[in-house]
Amino acid sequence: MGSSGKAEFNAVGHQSCDRTLETELGVMLFSRGRQGAVLTFIGEQIVSDIRQMLHLLARAADKVNASRGLEAGQVRIASIRSLATHWLPPIVAAFRQHFPQIQVTLTKCFDYVEVQAALRDRQADIGLMDIYDRTPFNIVEIGIDDYVALLPANYVSSNHQITWQQLSQLPLIMPAPNDRGYDALRDYIDRLEVAIEIAYEINEDSTIVSMVAQGLGVAILPYLAALPLPDTVCICHLPQPLNRQLAAVILEDCLHSPAVFTFLETMKQVGQAVHSRYSLQ
């Protein structure tokens, strides 16, 4: 049994861990002497089980190591609606062509504040949002999104230009005050010399567009947030420009997997081309 016992011992593992295993099980697995260690009777009975345990442990370690690389893993994204709906799907498609084994999950957020909360709570790896404070993030810029006036088609001139005096003649449909992504728009409206009546405050961009389509008023939204536009809605450039910077962000003080950085690299390579497809020309 000696030589076969030593062979079995080598198959089971290293001497540094055999005493720990014996302590855990409460039995002697090896008989030790000058010639080394050989399996006891009970050791021979359970060696196949131990070998299977070690095999499963090795498989688990392989999966963990793969998740740290690009053979597997997950990229969790928190995004505002306009980027999640229009900009993100082509990016995910390009990424999946090269890394189909990496899972991409998406959480749609109400505004950039909710995206930031998802990042800080470690519920997301990447945030897609309009950015105003750059300090806590590493940033990949996506592009500029211009605000536009949305009007029922019969109100729009042929050159798609409009004045504040013309806009003031229609009720204004505004995003609700709890949407922090539109703080800049509210400040913009407050600074106008012409008073514009706010008739409705709505939480959902698509509902605002639908209300304009029904002739209930005029709205001011980022172009990407207004898409898709019904045939009964036309857009005009604002008399004074207003825009927002869109970006993909990750926390600076967080350890990220290679999959996350590879997804960001895909964004850099194809993101601006995708954005130009949905930008106001």
Render pLDDT for 86-133 as a digit per residue (tens, 0 to 9): 999 999 999 999 999 999 999 999 999 999 999 999 999 999 999 998
* Confidence (pLDDT) at 159: 59
Q: Are residues 56 and 89 in the same domain?
A: no
Q: Which domain holds residue 62?
A: 2-68
In the prediction, which pLDDT does 17 show?
Answer: 57
Question: Does pLDDT of 177 surpass 70?
Answer: yes
Distance of CA 230 to the CA centre of its chain: 28
What pLDDT score does 10 carry? 44
Query: Is the model more confident about 53 or about 86?
Result: 86
What percent of the chain stands above pLDDT 70?
Answer: 85
**Which range among 14-23, 85-94, 185-194, 248-257 shows the weakest confidence by mean pLDDT?**
14-23
Kindly report the pTM of this predicted structure: 0.73
Please write down the HEC assignment for all residues of the chain. Answer: CHHHHHHHHHHHCCHHHHHHHHHHHCCCCEEEECCEEEECHHHHHHHHHHHHHHHHHHHHHHHHHHHHCCCCCEEEEEEEHHHHHHHHHHHHHHHHHHCCCCEEEEEEECCHHHHHHHHHCCCCCEEEEECCCCCCEEEEEEEEEEEEEEEEHHHCCCCCECCHHHHCCCCEEEECCCCHHHHHHHHHHHCCCCCCCEEEEECCHHHHHHHHHCCCCEEEEEHHHHCCCCCCEEEEECCCCCEEEEEEEEECCCCCCHHHHHHHHHHHHHHHHHHHHCCCC
Of 68, 83, 111, the last residue of a domain is 68
Are 238 and 249 within one domain?
A: no
The pLDDT score that the predictor gives to residue 1 is 42
- pLDDT, residue 76, reads 96
Is residue 13 over pLDDT 70? no
Q: Are residues 23 and 49 in the same domain?
A: yes
Query: In the chain, what is the greatest distance between 2 CA atoms, to the nearest angstrom?
Result: 101
The count of domains in the chain is 3
Same domain, yes or no: 103 and 226? no
Residues 208 and 128: beta-carbon distance below 8 Å: no
In the prediction, which pLDDT does 62 show? 58
pLDDT tens sequence across 182-207: 999 999 999 988 888 899 999 999 99
Name which residue leads in pLDDT, 81 or 70: 81
Which tokens sit at 192?
Answer: 């106008």
Structure-model confidence comparison of residues 152 and 29, the more confident one: 152
Q: Which of 68, 93, 125 is the last residue of a domain?
A: 68
Do 166 and 120 reside in the same domain of the chain? no
